[in-house]
Structure 1
Amino acid sequence: MSTLLTAAGPVATGPAAAVVGRHREVELLVAALDCGAHVLLEGPPGTGKTTLLRSVAAAGSVPFVFVEGNAELTPGRLIGHFDPAQVLSEGYSPDVFVDGPLVQAMRAGSLLYVEEVNRVPEETLNVLITVMSEGELHVPRLGRVPAAAGFRLVAAMNPFDAVGTARISAAVYDRCCRITMGYQSAQDEADIVVLRGPAVPDPWRAQVVDLVRRTREHPDVRIGSSVRGAIDLVRLAVSLSGLRGQEPTSWLVGLDAALVALSGRVRLQESCGRAPEEIVRELYVAVFGAEPTDDDPADESEPTGDGGASGGA
């Protein structure tokens, strides 16, 4: 795993160029993995936790096994099982055991990446705790499975207040190094939209990013949109503009794209009696200005309002 140390430089310019504004987190992850620690990446959705790990692993040519964490991830699915048909003919032989992702990563000395770890059942977490503590696993009828050199667990989780999440026990935190990942700066998010979205005028893109960032600060919004909302908004606006024969930056095209891209991504306060579409429209007008009238000489394709990328910085 020491080859990961050489990845700290290339991560920003080589195979991991997709990681924008995460130089510090890249260094911390590389150092933690290189020293043999297991890592917990914690942050809101859309902050690049999976992208960060994939980029670091690619830069260091380190294989990893991906596991989607959910309520149906039982210990059996994580560890593996004996093939029933072959057991009938050959018995409980190690040759008929089908490795699950955990055993696969342990045998190969790979990274095991568990996404959404705070959605995983407690009995499954207990299996991971044992492996992190002892570096081995005891499977009935199979025996001891030691973890090969290089095996690391990297788990990602959203904040506890996200829907469907549970508190992670102190036993998990005690066995991991924790790296927190918040939202990036307005400029970094604009750069991500450039990287992932179609070409649009820079000032309008900056206003789109500003709009998305404002969803995280509105008093009626409990959870706002990540930068994925900005990427989808730009993509939708470009597609709609082709269908309508208008510019992507026109007021109505942008509004419809914003309503579709953002209304499902914002989670309102329980006491709020408003609809998500109403919040998105309010913020859209705040950034892009009121809807132009027929006698308004202003060109619709020109960004208006008090937007810019500074609103949520």
Structure 2
Amino acid sequence: MTRSAGTTDPRYAATPYPVPAQAGPPQAAGPAQGDPVAADEARAALHRLRAEVAKAVVGQDAVVTGMVIALLCRGHVLLEGVPGVAKTLLVRTIAAALDLDSKRLQFTPDLMPGDVTGSLIFDPRTAAFTFREGPVFTNLLLADEINRTPPKTQAALLEVMEERQVSVEGSRRPLPDPFIVAATQNPVEYEGTYPLPEAQLDRFLLHLTMPLPNRDEELGVLRAHHAGFDPRELTAAGVRPVATPADLALARAAVSRTAVAESVLGYIVDLCRATRAAPALELGASPRGAIALLVTAKAWAWLAGRDHVTPDDVKAIARPTLRHRLRLRPEAELEGVTTRSVLDAVLGTVPTPR
């Protein structure tokens, strides 16, 4: 896909949320807060991830942060953007920098559910069926162009994403930990796509938009390729593991201990309830959406070096956490209303606790 120099789709022109600041000095920890030194080291390792990913992917710091938050929260990510903005490269680079196993599955109209989860294969030598694992048995699954496959195959991911297991012939097979799905999606107005059902959209923790690079960033991409950069050879590009699954486990434990005041809990509930009452929406954020906003705000606050969540943390991560869980009324769409404008109105009208 090509675009003229002066045209930019506004949906892909800017990141939907800011990037949390680098963690400051270690904060005092009480007896119940675990090992603060280990938590600070884990936080520093995850911050180093940004610089490592930048060796291969230019200008996507906010989306990298969203991916880290998803890993901290054991959540899944829906990446949306026009072709050619490095969605696939981003996921592969994050997996390499975190020393995680990753697999890529290209979703096509003829893909079958067994191609996703795995299936029983008859072995004539033993006259028995054996289970052949599908690509979901990994740490980071790149579900490429997920909206190019029919709903029957999309539904194969529902149990995988919610239960983190595969059930075949009554047998449950757990997936590795960590496990997240990073699904890429082309805009639904493109030909040959199937809109994701609401039940599946609600299982994604975050919906992140991959923006088009600005001019300087695009020049940097061209310079790297002119100098010999090969996106298929990340090791040659200097990408090395800068964090480990052990760092991630420590970070998750620290995030779980992040304090949330009762007033902030009430603020999260009020935001979600306000979306259900918005006249432009026929579907607002569910209680699962409120839980998602709670856990992402805790991860956001922890990455920023705080041991408690503020209302600003909730506001910062609310859009990518909630927007894919909202459905506009048809008449509102005709009037040019977007889920982003509805969320902006909700965030601007719901009283912020002090």
Question: Which TM-score tier does this pair reach, normalised by the shorter chain?
Answer: 0.5 to 0.7
Query: Structure 1, residues 234-293: CA drift from partner, whole Å, max 9, x if none?
Result: xxxxxxxxxxxxxxxxxxxxxxxxxxxxxxxxxxxxxxxxxxxxxxxxxxxxxxxxxxxx
Establish whether residue 180 from structure 1 lines up as the match of residue 218 from structure 2: no
Corresponding residue number in structure 2 for 1:72: 110
Higher relative CO (Cα under 8 Å, sequence separation at least 6) belongs to: 2
Aligned residue for 1:190, secondary structure, equals: helix
Aligned length: 188
Aligned residue for 2:183, secondary structure, equals: strand
**Equivalent residues of 1:7, 1:60 under 8 A apart:** no
| RMSD (CA atoms) | 2.3
The amino acid across from 1:124 in the alignment is: T
1:118 positional shift: 0.2
In 2: Cα distance, 1:113 partner to 1:48 partner: 13
Aligned mate of 1:159, from 153, 170, 187:
187
In 2: Cα distance, 1:60 partner to 1:18 partner: 14
In 2: Cα distance, 1:87 partner to 1:4 partner: 49
Q: Percent identity?
A: 31
The amino acid across from 2:119 in the alignment is: H
The amino acid across from 1:29 in the alignment is: M
**Equivalent residues of 1:113, 1:153 under 8 A apart:** yes
Corresponding residue number in structure 2 for 1:285: none
Summarize the Cα distance change of 1:194–1:148 in structure 2 as closer, same or farther, 3 Å threshold. Answer: same
Question: Structure 1 unaligned runs (5+)?
Answer: 200-313
**Equivalent residues of 2:119, 2:168 under 8 A apart:** no
In 2: Cα distance, 1:178 partner to 1:14 partner: 23
The amino acid across from 2:214 in the alignment is: S
1:36 positional shift: 0.6
Aligned mate of 2:220, from 188, 191, 198:
191
Aligned residue for 2:166, secondary structure, equals: strand
1:87 positional shift: 4.9
Aligned mate of 1:90, from 127, 139, 145:
127
Establish whether residue 147 from structure 1 lines up as the match of residue 185 from structure 2: no
In 1: Cα distance, 2:114 partner to 2:133 partner: 10
TM-score when normalising by structure 1: 0.55
Summarize the Cα distance change of 1:188–1:67 in structure 2 as closer, same or farther, 3 Å threshold. Answer: same
1:8 positional shift: 4.0
In 1: Cα distance, 2:178 partner to 2:42 partner: 11
**Equivalent residues of 1:12, 1:19 under 8 A apart:** no
In 2: Cα distance, 1:196 partner to 1:7 partner: 28
Question: Structure 2 unaligned runs (5+)?
Answer: 1-38, 229-354
Aligned mate of 1:63, from 79, 86, 101:
101
The amino acid across from 2:107 in the alignment is: G
Query: Which structure has the larger Rg over C-alpha atoms?
Result: 1
1:60 positional shift: 0.9
**Equivalent residues of 1:64, 1:111 under 8 A apart:** yes
Corresponding residue number in structure 2 for 1:30: 68
Query: Structure 1, residues 220-242: CA drift from partner, whole Å, max 9, x if none?
Result: xxxxxxxxxxxxxxxxxxxxxxx
The amino acid across from 1:175 in the alignment is: R
**Equivalent residues of 1:11, 1:55 under 8 A apart:** no
